[in-house]
Amino acid sequence: MTDSGLPKAITLIKKAVSKWKTPAVTEIAKEKDPYRVLVSCILSLRTQDRTTEAASARLFSLAGSPLDMSKLTEDEIMRAIYPVGFYRTKAGTIRMISERLLKDYGGRVPDTMDELLGLPGVGRKTANLVVTMGYGLPGICVDTHVHRITNRWGYVKTKTPEETEKALRKKLPKRYWLEINDLLVTFGQNQCRPVSPFCSTCPVKAFCGRVGVTVSR
């Protein structure tokens, strides 16, 4: 993938993903509530989208703000979010975050990376999603799909999602920062899969370096 080929590739990917269901966190982000984006991001880690979506709906029906969430016990949160991955740990994390937001931020989710990374259980992926989806501020969220696909293209050459984020911040035009995660998560779940991607029907195969691809369909 070259710099000159990127705009055309992004256009083709936008067209392709329009026929697939968007990620659960993206749907929740349409409510423009940074707290719900933060909580749903935590629920989504190591969890399938359909499970995240259902668990988020159950939890938010009980508590949709840090104040309401702090009134629930960990067991109540745990029962609401089961069977998301690591649901016991996540129940405790969500409650701790809610209490921290009330104590240090007046119940408001902070909008800077440094402050978000200071919250219990919040890593760069979650922090970037809150900044970009919750607040619409510049940022690049890099999950396994973004890391895999941009390396598969040959657009970057990195070993970890953190390295990919740094590389994309230097190379990726800012007009794509907010949408790159949404696009590549959906694209990665349906077309450019981790194992045996659908290269034969890929709309951007002419732009892709297919780095590391040994088996495809």
Q: Domains of the chain by range and CATH?
A: 6-20+140-201 (1.10.1670.10), 31-134 (1.10.340.30)
CB atoms within 10 A of CB 212: 9
Assign 149 a pLDDT band (cuts: 50, 70, 90). very high
Give me 213's structure tokens: 């691809």
One-letter amino acid at 167 equals A
| Per-residue pLDDT, 168 | 97
pLDDT exceeds cutoff 90 at 68: yes
Helix (H, G, I), strand (E, B) or coil at 2: coil
> What's residue 164's pLDDT?
97
Q: What is the pLDDT of residue 22?
A: 87
Q: Provide, rounded to the nearest whole percent, the portion of the chain with pLDDT above 90.
A: 92
Question: Measuring CA to CA, which residue among 37, 52, 86, 94 is closest to residue 189?
Answer: 52
How would residue 33 be classed by pLDDT, with cut points 50, 70 and 90? very high
Mean pLDDT score, 61-87: 97
What's the CA gap between 188 and 59, in Å, rounded?
A: 28
